[in-house]
Amino acid sequence: MSNWSKFLWGGVGWALGGPIGGILAYAIASMADGGGRQTPRTSQYTQTRAGDFGLSLLVLFGAVMKADEQVLKSELDYVKAFFVKQFGREYASDRIRLFREIIKQDYPLRDVCLQIKRNMDHPARLELLHVLFGLAQADGQVDPREVAIIQKIANYLGINSTNYESIKAMFIKNNLGNYQILGITPDAADAEVKRAYRAMANKYHPDKVVHLGEDFQRMAEEKFKKVNQAYQDIKKERGFA
C-alpha cells in the first residue's frame, strides 16, 4: 500500500512527525501487502490542516473506545457511520481500515496530546473534544470511563474546566446544562448571561475552524447551535429579550 496519503483528510503537516506520525507509519506498514515499514515524509507545513486534525481524531477515537477495555463491533460501526455522515462513503472504508490498525497499538496518550497542543490552535482542540463526546454518546449512553479519559485528554490538551464542562453539558444532560454550556452559574445576572452567550458564540463560531475545511466546519456548526439553543432556553425561562 504505497499511497498512504489517500487515507487522510486533505493535506497533512505537523502530524507526520512525533508520536502521531509513528502511529500512522506503523499502521500503514501493518496494512501493506509485504514490504517494510513506510515512514511518512516530514512535511513543510506547520499550520494545522484537515489531515492533521483527521489523524489526531483517529488516534484519540482509539483511546476513548478502549477506555472500557474492549472494542465492540457496534462501536466500530458507529465510527464508520460517523465517517460516512461527515465525509461520504467513498473514503469511509479506507479510514476504517486505517483505524482498525491504529486501535491495535498501545501508544502514549499524553505524548500524543502534547503534540496536538503544541501544533493545533484552541478552537480546533475544542472541536476535537466535541467530536470525542459525540463518539462516547454514539451508542446512546456515555460510560464513566469514557468521560474520565476524555477529561484526561482535555487536561493534556490545555482545555480549561469551564470549556470542558461546557462541551460535556452538550452531551450529558443535567439541570444546570444550559448554564454550563455558557460557562456560568444559575445565579448569574441577565447581563452576565448575555455577555457569556456572546463570548461562547464567538469562541465556538464555525469560522474559527475554517482552515480545517468545509467538512470540519460543518461539524463545528453543531456546537454553535447548542450554544444558541442554551441561550434561547435561558431567555425563555427568565423572560428577557
List, for residues 51-84, the tens digit of each pLDDT value. 888 889 889 999 998 887 777 777 778 778 877 7
In 18-170, alpha helices (H): 18-31, 50-65, 73-87, 89-102, 109-119, 122-136, 144-156, 161-169
Q: How confident is the model at residue 115 (pLDDT cuts 50, 70, 90)?
A: very high
Contacts of 94 (CB under 8 A, 6+ apart): 6, 7
Give 150-175 as a DSSP string.
HHHHHHHTT--HHHHHHHHHTTS--T
d(C-alpha 50, C-alpha 210), whole Å: 10
Q: Is the pLDDT reported for residue 37 higher than 90?
A: no
* Residue 8, pLDDT score: 57
**What pLDDT digit, counting tens, does each position of 124-182 carry?**
999 999 999 988 887 777 889 999 999 999 999 999 999 999 999 999 988 899 999 99
What's the pLDDT band for 33 if we cut at 50, 70, 90? low
Domains parsed from the chain with CATH numbers: 1-120 (no CATH), 174-241 (1.10.287.110)
Cell of 157: 490538551
Per-residue buried b or exposed e for 169-183, using 16+ beta carbons within 10 Å of the residue's own CB: bbbbeeeebbbbbbb
